[in-house]
Structure 1
């Protein structure tokens, strides 16, 4: 989009926040880059250039605007929709792969050489993987400076910098002042002792009600809970564990993190954004689905639905198998048993969380006789766990979605329903469609649509490439009394 000068210039003239994250505008006369909705005076056409990312603008020598903070805008929805090499690379960079494993590690995950990765990203985004990771570290540093009372030296290493000098130079280059200057400009908000509180921006419209209702209805006790109007869960992270509290508002989500190691703040934030599908662009979804008379009223009544996703693709796949042919409540009970018996204990001073969800490696030696499941489903679960551990099934932010579907479909007991749910909630595919889901079929029937799997799947062809979002509206058709449409959930009896 950034190559369409006229369209981009109209967007900044209208200060249209819908385009935040799609591109940034660099102003040659000031040396500053802004988000499209920046309230500053619109520069003359001859004085501006458009870049696809903050990293590209920084590489061209521009500093971030202190007024609109373009580095803190919602991420580009392109990386959710696209499944090509660039999108896969961006999702892995967002998950901290370059900081942990370097560019060679990123290339190995993608199955390409480092030279190919550099060339493709430079060609399309105007910046290579190191520059993109540097921009991400700078944003993390700013968040920590403005949202915590951590010493600046600790922030340098928590944000992923290899030295304090590199941290100082990067912050000065990107934001036009040293870290101490950023801290002086900001009044640190009141925070929970020992925790970090961040604001996660969203792209409007944002229907947080249905999103949080779904997460609450499918939660696994022990590693997830609803408390005081917030969704809380434990996290397994590269350097330790964490607990996140997510509180929704119409224009943002407040994210409070308790981490064993602050080096995990970037990864934890990225995974929370994925969990809530915050970088989605609801406008093309709205236009496409509202064009169908069967969905029009639902879409117009509550625009901005999101896909309830996951913080861990392996966890989601395991939980999908546990949920086969049982109720939502029973699936939560099965998941809670795994958490209690195989998860890693954590301390939660703010609530009742007790364990992390076990990794596939933690479950590798699982005794199938201890699973309260039918014999066939026990074998399906053990087979999936083994495939995740040995790499014959690859599920991660940068995996090839088509290849992942093929790998899953070769496993016994992983049929179309399971594959499509994993693709939708685990991999974030906007065009997945679990047409065999009982709730989806019932919702379709209430709207006068075919309520058999084959008929509904055929009818859903007109919703491409947004069938995952259509699924959310079909669930919504079940009514306000359905558990996945109730937020906050009813309080439990004492």
Structure 2
């Protein structure tokens, strides 16, 4: 059965007739009479039911011979929330493709990371998404190229390689085929002065988007030398170093609330890259950090009638599950933070970064190091780490497993297999493994019932923790978001915005 058959045509057509923005990025509608494909909310006249087909992604529509609508820009939408909810083979593969794995390692490299043969992986992706790995990667490259053409002043040659194309000719041909326009047509008469390696892009997120709460979480947990945060007036900003496939870089995200439900909002990302080929990887990692593909309306609707989480969800609509830019870093930071306060964990992690991280020169004050690699920490003497010896041994053991590839946190591995491998390591318990699954693997249905913060939050809300935790099954499949709502009640009040402070 093809993906277009798996998408219920009647349901999809009702969404198209109502121009329901909630389905943007979930499926795409292709119109036979015009040869174009659109997002469900396209403002153009609704086509007749007999003239449309529905596709799981842009690559499927492009493979069927359709070009992107110039009016609604269907590829400028957040990704499908199903990729993280189901975390099936197709969803995990899409995360790796978005990170540029096919461009760097080819289909064989993608298949190896997934644990499948290239032929079987191709069959699975074609059945689920309507296109194979090469077509999916091509659609992603075209999307990245269009955004760079329209939002930056990079030369076309720079854009071609930044988007992952192997040549300028391939870039030109793909853009013309997908968008029925040349790169010059897409850019128009824009011009300006560009800084080498600097790219500014808008990252699409679904609304409501609780940007201030996300910014507060990131700022509260930042590691000295690797992350900095502050405010420009009412706008919160967060910046950090990135260890990318072709060299180091930095990203700064301008984060604000966007609470109008059912719309697409944008977070501005300022990238400074050593190699423009890392553009797609940097963008994907920034999107992971923002939980940009979340469907906040589905999450909020699920908690609407709940006496505990419901009021919290109404108070902070669109609360996100903060992700990560590197799964191994998240796991290591989690072990460092075991049984210590957030402030203590930040201090200890900052000392480890200074001792074992790679110094880098950046244009952002306070960003001085890349987070230590797994190999560097695996070679460290546990006795010299600024933590209890047992935790130091656990940290070095985890780093060794990550560095050797015995445990992979690139979101291409099955979540249950990762959890089993983590808890098999000395010093890694269920709390740590589940927290890593939630943050590093974007698992939406994790809860930490033994967490002291959870119990304090419930007591602070006037609930008995034992009775409240009997409702855990009611919060599924969004228990990670329930956990974030409880933790959000414990967050310190953010400092008052100060104009011009960086």
> Shared fold (TM-score greater than 0.5)?
yes
- The answer on 1:51 being equivalent to 2:65 is no
- 1:84 pairs with 2:98: no
| Aligned counterpart for 2:321 among listed residues 289, 294, 307 | 307
**2:485 is matched with which residue: 448, 473, 478?**
473
TM-score after normalising by structure 2: 0.92
Verify the 8 A CA contact 1:15 1:37 in the aligned structure 2.
Answer: yes
User: Paired residue for 1:256, among 270, 275, 282?
Assistant: 270
- 1:112-261 to structure 2, matched below 5 A, reads 112-184=116-188, 187=190, 195-228=198-231, 229-249=236-256, 250=258, 251-261=265-275
Contact 1:384 1:411 in 2 (8 A): yes
Write out aligned runs for 1:3-42 (5 A): 3-42=7-46
**Of 364, 368, 372, the match for 1:358:** 372
Match of 2:261 in 1: none
CA distance in 1: counterparts of 2:366 and 2:309, whole angstroms: 39
CA deviations over 1:418-468 (Å, ceiling 9, x no partner): 11110111110001112222211111222344436xx66543122111110
Classify the secondary structure of the residue corresponding to 2:378. Answer: coil
Instruction: Quote the Cα distance in structure 2 between the aligned partners of 1:194 and 1:111.
Output: 35
Structure 2 counterpart SS, 1:293: coil
Q: Is the 8 A contact 1:146 1:188 kept in 2?
A: no
2:429 corresponding residue in structure 1: 415
Post-superposition offset of 1:37: 1.4
Following superposition, the deviation at residue 290 of structure 1 comes to: 2.2
CA contact (8 A) 1:191 1:197 kept: no
Question: Are the counterparts in 2 of residues 280 and 306 from structure 1 also a CA contact under 8 Å?
Answer: yes
Moved more, 457-466 or 358-367: 457-466
Q: Distance in 2 between matches of 1:415 and 1:62?
A: 50
In structure 1, the residue corresponding to 2:309 is in which secondary structure? helix
Provide Cα deviations, 1:139-197, integer angstroms capped at 9, x if missing partner: 1111221222222122212211112211111010001012122122x636887775211
Deviation, structure 1 residue 76: 0.5
* Aligned partner (choices 402, 409, 412) of residue 395 of structure 1: 409
Shift of 1:92: 1.3
Using the alignment, how far apart are the partners of 1:293 and 1:362 within structure 2?
A: 47
Q: Give the deviation of 1:227 after TM superposition.
A: 3.0
- Which residue pairs with 1:347 in the alignment? 361
Indicate how the Cα distance of structure 1 residues 488 and 330 shifts in structure 2: closer, same or farther if over 3 A, else same: farther
Cα shift at 1:488: 6.6
Root-mean-square deviation (Å): 2.1
1:148–1:196 contact (8 Å) kept in structure 2: yes
1:411–1:189 distance in 2 versus 1, CA, 3 Å: farther
Q: Displacement of 1:370 after TM fit?
A: 2.4
For the residue of structure 1 that corresponds to 2:358, the secondary structure is: coil
- Residue of structure 2 in register with 1:486 after alignment: 494
CA contact (8 A) 2:63 2:131 kept: yes
Q: Distance in 2 between matches of 1:470 and 1:366?
A: 37
Deviations 1:17-64 (A, max 9, x none): 111100111111211111111122222222221111001111111111
The one-character-per-residue Cα deviations of 1:55-107 (angstroms, maximum 9, x if unpaired) are: 11111111111121111111001111112211221111111111111111111
SS across alignment from 2:75: helix
In the TM superposition, residue 128 of structure 1 has moved relative to its aligned partner by: 0.5
TM-score, length-scaled by structure 1:
0.94
Conserved 8 A contact 2:102-2:109: yes
Assess, with a 3 A threshold, how the Cα gap between structure 1 residues 191 and 25 changes in structure 2: closer, same or farther. Answer: farther
| Residues in 1 aligned to 2:328 and 2:42: alpha-carbon distance in whole angstroms | 39
5+ residue gaps, structure 2: 259-264
Q: Quote how far apart the aligned CAs of 1:486 are.
A: 2.9
